[in-house]
Structure 1
Amino acid sequence: MIRTSLHHKQRLILLGFSLLIIATAFIGMGLGDASLPYSRLPAVLLGNGDLKENFILFSIRLPRLTVTLLAGMALGVSGAILQGMTRNDLADPGIIGINNGAGVAIAVFFLFFPIEADSFVYVLPVVAFIGAFLTAGLIYVFSYSRFTGFQPVRLVLVGVGFSMALSGVMIVLISTASREKVDFISNWLAGSVWGTDWVFAGAMLPWLIILIPYALWKARRLDILSLDESTTIGLGVALGRERLTLLLAAVALAAAAVSVTGGIAFIGLMAPHIARALVGPRHGLLIPVATLVGGWLLMLADTIGLHLIEPNGMPAGIVTALIGAPYFLYLLIRKI
């Protein structure tokens, strides 16, 4: 049983990150070219704003903040699942190529199906899931040895190789596309949040409502999978089946997120690590914290990126990479 003191600590940490999310959202709602003074925000949020204020807040800023929050949550939980099931602290859907697999599928669909992006918003997560799952399956196969079984360290190396190869495929696809579609794919690769309407938040929400509770339900299984394989099998866990179902959940969460935010990496790496440092390795405690940490990190990165460089800002994916890449190298060096 998890000690009562740890539950109390977790609740305090969840409250702290909830307040950080609210504070970051409040700051983000007041920033931008169009004037919306902070003194007016409470009134506008309560429905007492004028037409311009309502449009700025409810049609432009709040949808984007909501999308980044939900996507960050999805990536944080996806990373926690991947790190638990692979016993590898370096696992992240962006680093090991899952995001790029989703990106290639989205790019192919966008290039070869004559449909505007906004009209297939609810199809995008499914398309991204197919590409991401095929990629994850190949990575898993190439990381497995019939002599030594599944090798977590090899997973990262194979995943990085797939990520680079899929980036090359994206470049080939770009070279055959029209200017408009090139701009879309380039922005996706950079991690520029492009799905900034309420409809995109609505497209992601069902995936999170189903899969985050599923991850919490599987928390004890993840605790067992974090042990060595012989111990896991000895405890009666169906190793192959559990890994497959958890992989499906992790891939689906990552695909739902990157289908509307672009190629965001390192959120799935950093959020579980921060959560683990705060509440320990038990997934029942770790996953809720990683959920909020991931949401806050991506919301913060997008808010900083939007206003860091004028006039167009910096993609959130670049901001997260500036923070996450050195941290990944530190973890890699420490692991070696």
Structure 2
Amino acid sequence: MEGVLDHSLRDVLTRIQGVDVCVTEFIRVTDQLLPESVFRRLAPELGAGSQTPSGTPVLVQLLGNDPVAMGENAVRAVEMGAPGIDLNFGCPAKTVNKSRGGAILLKDPEEVHDIVAGVRRALPDQVPLSAKMRLGFQDKSLALENAQAMEAAGAMRLTVHARTKVEGYKPPAHWEWIDRIREAVKVPVVANGDIWTVDDYHRCREVSGCDDVMIGRGLIANPFLAQAVREGSEGLAAVETWPRICELLLAYHLMVLDRLETKHVAGRAKQWLRMMQRHYPQAETLFMTIRTERDPHRVTEYLQQAVEISAIDINR
């Protein structure tokens, strides 16, 4: 999730137990070997055992269409400490697809095969290589062929977002298609798409037949979702977890304040609050409070107040 799930948010979200592994934002590869500084900027966990501060492993994801350059950059990431490489064939962004990256490559299973094969050849055999795909670009007619091409080229695991590029993020996610892909390949398949609740998680596993599930937007909307899944419960009510959310939001904002230009800082907290409105009604109130505020230090004050007020409310 480019521009959203960066290393700061990975740090904050994995402070809550339940996440087994994270994947970085995609690192865009053209036809050149990227400098180490690019990897350190997008995946600073590489300098800390390739895991978040709480100990969750972090895989490096690459996006591009040049098999040789993709392979060279995969090797660089592994040499810097990445425990595995993931390839992005799912990004639906127009700017990415226009430069032949992400989901547009699903129009040509042979090209998909060549890219995966190029990376597999470059990497040591023991390094895990996985790939993420959608069901297709305009339709689902090549879904099975693309998955089989990735497997044949050496992908050891596939994560499938259960929609095409054209379908974007519009519900529903077609989990039944993940089951078809799972039956068509021998490597493990991970289900992804429209998992917002514990009930969604169980229904997705039942329909897709997958043991493992990847959660993106659902975890941002409810940071306690993975923990609830792990514990086999419906999770705590929003009113019970809101004080902890306020603490995490403040911590996230301060991390962003420390590394981004001032003009870009306030937007990150607002972005996260907007996504949490799906689960937390309190998030809408706080969002409206800071909606027009551009001064990041004033945002800090508002978030500190939210921490204090939520702690008082929960102790009443």
Normalising by structure 1, report the TM-score.
0.23
Considering fraction of residues, name the structure with more strand: 2
Considering fraction of residues, name the structure with more helix: 1
Q: Which has the higher contact order (CA 8 A, sep 6+)?
A: 1
